[in-house]
Amino acid sequence: MNWLVFLLDSSATNQASNYLPIGIQLIFAAGFVATMIAVSQWLGPKRKTSDKLENFASGIESHGDARQPMAIKYFLVAILFVLFDVEVIFFYPYAVNFRELGWDGFAAVVMFVSFFLVGFVYIIKKGALVWED
């Protein structure tokens, strides 16, 4: 029963001393990370060979310049996929709660789908998904 009194007593839960263990843990964690980095720099091997200084790209030997122009269509399709994929996620809460939301919820979803379709028609009209150039 004492825990209930503690939870209901707002003056006991809003004291700065209650956050002291969290602060100590954060300081200890930051100190531990800094110490481990310093010790690995101090004790670790320092053999710099030409093989170690080369760029590593998944075991494939690199050749050529990485600054070659790339078609923007790849990025555009990726961004559009993420955009429309994230919008579809918003249908899940409606599907779970469609009875509680009633007609107001239905109107909100119809408005959301209409914005979704207007954006899709705009993308089609602009030719964002046309690959032949």
Amino acid letter for position 86: V
Between 116 and 59, whose confidence is greater? 116
The domain limits of the chain are 12-45, 70-133
- Spatial separation of the C-alpha atoms in residues 74 and 129, rounded to whole Å: 10
Which residue's entry shows tokens 């003056």? 11
- Per-residue model confidence (pLDDT) at position 1: 53
- Per-residue model confidence (pLDDT) at position 3: 54
CB-based contact 127:72 (threshold 8 Å) = no
Helix, strand, coil percentages for the chain (3-state, nearest 5):
75, 0, 25
- Spatial separation of the C-alpha atoms in residues 114 and 119, rounded to whole Å: 9
CATH class of 70-133: mainly alpha
Between 37 and 98, whose confidence is greater? 37
**What's the distance, CA 107 to chain centroid?**
30
- Per-residue model confidence (pLDDT) at position 67: 75
| pLDDT for residue 131 is more than 90 | no
Q: How confident is the model at residue 9 (pLDDT cuts 50, 70, 90)?
A: low
Q: What is the pLDDT of residues 97-109, one digit of tens each?
A: 888 888 988 898 8
- Per-residue model confidence (pLDDT) at position 13: 64
Mean pLDDT of the chain: 80
